[in-house]
Structure 1
Amino acid sequence: MLLFFLGLFTGIISGMGIGGGTLLIPGLIILTSLNQKQAQGINLFIYIPTAIIALITHFYNKNLELRPVLPIVIAGIVGSILGSRLAVNFDPKILRIIFAVFLLIMGIYEFLKKDTN
């Protein structure tokens, strides 16, 4: 039941464009016996349907600027190839530390950034 609610909550924040993986990956590691690589693989698999639904919804509501999409998609594909090859070769413990440091830096940034609205 906890995994259901984890999936529901991370799906909601994924649909908002926040990035459910930032909570899904640690949640899977804490609630299951999965290692970092396995949790990341599940996150990537779950990302596909949630991204498609969110994309359709945002497109329908005219929240999508199409002009910058192509260069970002091309760079994202290249980056995902490089990143997945790096992740496969990293020790899961080192990968977990890198992910934790990334989350810490992002958390500090979000906490300290000035609101421009």
Structure 2
Amino acid sequence: MKTNQEMTRYIDSFSVVQRTSDGYFDGSELLRQWNNVEGNPRRQMSKFLESDNTSEFLKALAEDESHRAKMLIGENQLLIKVKGRNTKEGKTLDKVWMNPLLFIKFAMWINPAFEVKVLRFVYDEMIRY
């Protein structure tokens, strides 16, 4: 089993958290940052997750991941919701861990201008060497 750490990457001025154990990104953290910028149109995670387009994408992604891994990968393995807990220091934040491809789709859904920044990030950080 891999040791899990969280590393921070940046898309423009937004920090995105990625787990090293499986490469999943915390979509809820990106959304919190987006919604905290004055003037940005507010977005809701539920609107993205409940859309027909996202449902169809999750099915296609699960099928593709299953084929690549040569084992069944369920849609519930591509999106992991972790509810915040009450601690002595207060309640921890909810997290929505997303498969990297789902995260890219989510980040591009936030806003068309931000979509360009996401595509630039993917191109610069993951494709161009």
**TM-score, length-normalised on structure 1?**
0.34
Instruction: Give the number of the structure whose residues are more often strand, by fraction.
Output: 2
Instruction: Give the number of the structure whose residues are more often helix, by fraction.
Output: 1
